[in-house]
Structure 1
C-alpha cells in the first residue's frame, strides 16, 4: 500500500529555529500582557497565541516570571543602548549640550511608548515596575562608569566622592522625579545634575 502524502486539509507545521521560536513567544507575551495585563495572562494563553503547546513554552522559559524578566531585560537593553548613543555623540567640552541631551534621553525612555510599558506604571504592576527601575539603574550606571565617567576623568578631576553610588542616587532620583512630576522643567533637572556631580554653574551664568 502506497503511503499518502499530506493533503490540502493537513495542517502544515512551521519549523522555527530556537531563536525564532523564543522571539515568537516573547512577542506573544508582550501582546497579551498589553491586552490583558500581566497578572491575568497565563502560560496557556501564551501557548495558544503562538499556536504551540504549553510544554514548548516551558522548554524556553521556566515560568511566567522568567518571561517577565526577559521582557524587562529588553527594555533595559534599550535604555542602555540610548545611553551609549548619547555618549558617542557627546562633544568634548560641551557639558551643557551633553546634559541637555541626557535629560531628553531620560524623558524619552520613561515615556510609555507602547501599551505594556504604560501598563507597567499601573498600581497593580508596582512590583514589576520597581524591578525594571532597579535593573535599569544598575545597567545605566554601569554604562556611565565605563564610558562617560572614565572619559571625563582623563581630562578633569572628579569633584565628588563615591562616584558609582552618587550616580546611582542621581539616576534613581531623576527617574522618580520625571515620573512623578513630568512637568518639571529641563533647566531644573540639569541644575540638579550639575549640583549632584559638582559640575558648577553653566559658563553663561553671570554668577559663575
Structure 2
C-alpha cells in the first residue's frame, strides 16, 4: 500500500486549481519576468518559481519555452486590441482631433511601459521574435480598425486614400520606429503625421450626428 507523501516542514500545501486558472498563473508569471528581466534571461525554472509550481507542470500546458513566449506575446496583442476597441467605442462622433489625440496616447502607452498605466511590455532581445511580435500586433490593429473605425469614418466622410489596409500597415510600422528613435517627439506631431498620411478631414462639430 502506497502511503501519501509527507510534506517537508515549511513546504506549503499543494493547491489544486482548474487547468485554465493554472495556465493563467503560468502566463502571468512569465509576463512579469519577461518584463522585468527579458525573454532570454528568464528560464522555465524562474517562471515555475514565480508561479509557485513545479517546473515539470509547465510542460503540461506548453510544449516548450517558445510556445510559452508566443502565448504571452499573443496576450499583449489581445490587450492592445481590447484597448483599441474601447477607444473606438468612446470616440466622440465627428471629433477627429480628440480621437487622434486619444489614440496617440494609447499608442505611446504601449510603446513606453514606464508609466503607471502601462502594461509592462516584455524585453525582447531576439530580433526575429521582436519582428514577429510587431508584425502580429500591426496585423491585429489593422484588422480591428478595418471593422470598427474605418467603416464608421467612411459612413460620414470620403476616404481620400487608396489601399487602406496597406496604408495603415505602413503608417503604424513607421510610427513604431519613429517613437522608438524619437521618444520625446510631441504627440501633436504624431497626430499631424497620422492626419496627413490618411488625409483626414478636419474635425466636424462634436455635436454633428453625421460625424464619425
Q: When the two structures are superposed, what TM-score results if normalisation uses the length of structure 1?
A: 0.82
Q: Which moved more, 1:125-134 or 1:61-70?
A: 125-134
Secondary structure at 2:33's aligned position in 1?
helix
1:193 aligned to 2:197?
no
> 1:95 & 1:174 partners in 2: Cα distance?
19
Alignment deviations for residues 3-31 of structure 1 (CA, whole Å, 9 cap, x no partner): 99979958632101001110111122233
Specify the alignment match of 2:22 in structure 1. 21
> 2:191 & 2:35 partners in 1: Cα distance?
33
Larger Rg: 1
Q: Which has the higher contact order (CA 8 A, sep 6+)?
A: 2
1:57 aligned to 2:39?
no
Alignment deviations for residues 114-173 of structure 1 (CA, whole Å, 9 cap, x no partner): 7962623xxx34333322211111111111100000111112221111111111111111
**How big is the alpha-carbon RMSD for the aligned residues of Structure 1 and Structure 2?**
2.7
- Cα distance change of structure 1 residues 16 and 99 upon mapping to structure 2, 3 Å threshold: same
For residue 85 of structure 1, report the CA deviation from its aligned partner: 1.2
- Cα distance change of structure 1 residues 5 and 180 upon mapping to structure 2, 3 Å threshold: closer
CA contact (8 A) 1:119 1:125 kept: no
> 1:4 & 1:100 partners in 2: Cα distance?
61
> 1:153 & 1:115 partners in 2: Cα distance?
32
> 1:199 & 1:60 partners in 2: Cα distance?
46
- Cα distance change of structure 1 residues 160 and 115 upon mapping to structure 2, 3 Å threshold: closer
CA contact (8 A) 1:112 1:118 kept: no
Gaps of 5+ in 1: 204-208
1:117 aligned to 2:121?
yes
Q: When the two structures are superposed, what TM-score results if normalisation uses the length of structure 2?
A: 0.81
Q: Which moved more, 1:11-20 or 1:136-145?
A: 11-20
> 2:119 & 2:146 partners in 1: Cα distance?
32
- Cα distance change of structure 1 residues 185 and 11 upon mapping to structure 2, 3 Å threshold: closer
> 1:5 & 1:33 partners in 2: Cα distance?
34
> 1:104 & 1:34 partners in 2: Cα distance?
21
Report how many aligned residue pairs link the two structures: 198
Alignment deviations for residues 36-63 of structure 1 (CA, whole Å, 9 cap, x no partner): 4321332233334434344321110111
Q: Which moved more, 1:151-160 or 1:39-48?
A: 39-48
> 1:186 & 1:52 partners in 2: Cα distance?
44
- Cα distance change of structure 1 residues 202 and 21 upon mapping to structure 2, 3 Å threshold: closer
